[in-house]
Amino acid sequence: MSGYVIGFLISAVTCIFLLMLFRYEEKRHIRFLGYARARLDYVVIRTTFRIHYFFDVVGRDSVRQIFHYLLHSFLKLVLLLTRQWDKAVRNMIRANKTIAQNAERDRTTRNTLEELAIHKIQNALTEEQKKKHKHKMLEG
């Protein structure tokens, strides 16, 4: 059997038992376990009175104030986490921007070997200048 069926059966049996007990007490004009039930009634009434007194002293709005305080604390925590997340994202954007600028600069600029090769091509001697230079070095 499922838990719901068992709970329903226990509740039904308890209700039937209490109805039979109350009917028996009504016929006999006496309470079953009268002293214990009177003490239990007293405890229930006194507890109820104390709860009502507590809410009168503390105030009915205190529960609402506690709720608002907890909500405020939660929202403050969310704001703090949002600020930290925003700061982390901004730092990542800044770092990525620097890396992207360096990559762009590296793509558009030449390295040292490339600069030397271009300089060599631009300042290369013609064949006539090479012969003159060779002749000059050999003679003197």
pLDDT at 109 over 80: no
What's the pLDDT tens digit per position in 79-91?
999 999 999 999 9
| Proportion of the chain above pLDDT 70, given as a percent | 95
What's the pLDDT tens digit per position in 31-69?
888 889 899 999 999 999 998 888 777 776 777 888 899
pLDDT at 105 over 90: no
Residues 105-121 as b/e (b if ≥16 CB within 10 A, e otherwise) read: eeeeeeeeeeeeeeeee
CA-to-CA distance for 42 and 50, rounded, in angstroms? Answer: 12
CA-to-CA distance for 112 and 118, rounded, in angstroms? Answer: 10
Instruction: Report the candidate in 39, 33, 9 with the shortest Cα–Cα distance to residue 21.
Output: 33
